[in-house]
A = this chain, B = another copy of it.
Amino acid sequence: MAQMTYAEAIRDGMRVEMKRDPNVYIYGEDVGIFGGCFGVTAGLYQEFGPERVIDTPISETAIVGSAVGAAAAGLRPIAEVMFVDFMGVCMDELLNQAAKMRYMFGGKARLPMVVRTPCGAGMSAAAQHSQSLEAWFTHIPGLKVVMPGEPADAKGLMIAAIRDDNPVIYIEHKQLLNMAGEVPEGEYVVPLGKADIKREGSDVTIVAWSWMLQKALAAAEELAKEGISAEVLDPRTLVPLDKEAILKSVGKTGRLVIVHEAVRTSGFGGEIAAIVAEEGFDLLDAPIKRVTAPDTPIPFSPVLENAYLPSEEKIIKAVKELF
């Protein structure tokens, strides 16, 4: 085990696969010498050279669209979109090409491609550089959606994403990039579609992912002091979703709070709530709560951004309302 940051863990996952498979390459805006807008690809240009770590023009449509073509022709691209906020620019390529090609062709195409992109608020980057748009991708059958909440998962899920023969949207959180943790060395794989109980508990289940996992864990710590035992479950991948793990946990606790940073309406929390309200209705002792951002764009001023973001306090409050 090595001590690594989340950013280093992502990089290590890419490095392991690039060494193993010459068909894996990275491209995106400023991923080369510059090392990526958040430094995640730093050093890879030097290690793998300009043929495998490639700076693109500002052309997200062509970046993702050409990844589709390259994958269909046998490569395993890792495309970077600098902020998840820019995904609207290449949404057609994800929606109508990457996700559907295999199905439309009657199962006769394979599209092993990863689109890496950072999400999230907390740095006063305002409305166009702080969003959490994972729900959109989960609404597109044919894509897989990965959102690691800590360093080891970041690495293991990256390797799994690269090895997967389907288009995978890999969403990393800006606020987690510098978070350090123990990360297994070498070919460490975390399978897509397996949730992880990050903290065991018996009174309430908190489902949270990405940065919110950390907030949920902090809230659980506080709640423990007040005698409420919260189980914190990280789905880690939203598609495929480990529904059984969620239902099992709710079966144990009888209460469910879902936390996400995305705006409330039509966020992925709604999907989880709906699954449990249908398939786990009899397990529930209380209403299902969602702790989310409000239905507003993301404001710039730190005071406002702070008010906007789900927080430890808001999670604690929601949990307590169930007792």
User: A residues near B, CB below 8 A?
Assistant: 85-89, 91-96, 99-100, 103-104, 126-128, 133, 135-136, 138-139, 141-142, 239, 241, 262-263, 265-271, 273-274, 276-279, 281-282, 284, 286-290, 294-297, 299
Contact = CB atoms under 8 A, between A and B. Distances in A.
A286 B281 contact: yes
A141 B295 contact: yes
Contact of A139 (B93, B141, B265): B265
Contacts of A267: 139
A305 to B, nearest CB: 13
Given A88-B96, A127-B100, A295-B141, A265 B239 contact: yes
B95 A141 contact: no
Contacts of A294: 141
Number of identical protomers: 2
Given A139-B135, A297-B142, A277 B268 contact: no
A111 to B, nearest CB: 13
Contacts of A269: 274
| Interface-central residue, A86, A135, A269, by most chain B CB under 10 Å | A135
18 contacts: A88-B91, A88-B92, A91-B92, A100-B128, A103-B127, A104-B126, A104-B128, A135-B135, A136-B136, A139-B263, A139-B265, A139-B267, A141-B297, A273-B273, A276-B277, A277-B288, A279-B287, A281-B284
A296 B88 contact: no
A284 to B, nearest CB: 8
Contacts of A87: 91
Given A270-B274, A274-B269, A274-B270, A94 B88 contact: yes
Given A99-B297, A136-B136, A142-B297, A270 B266 contact: yes
A8 to B, nearest CB: 31
A138 B139 CA distance: 12
Given A126-B104, A139-B135, A273 B277 contact: yes
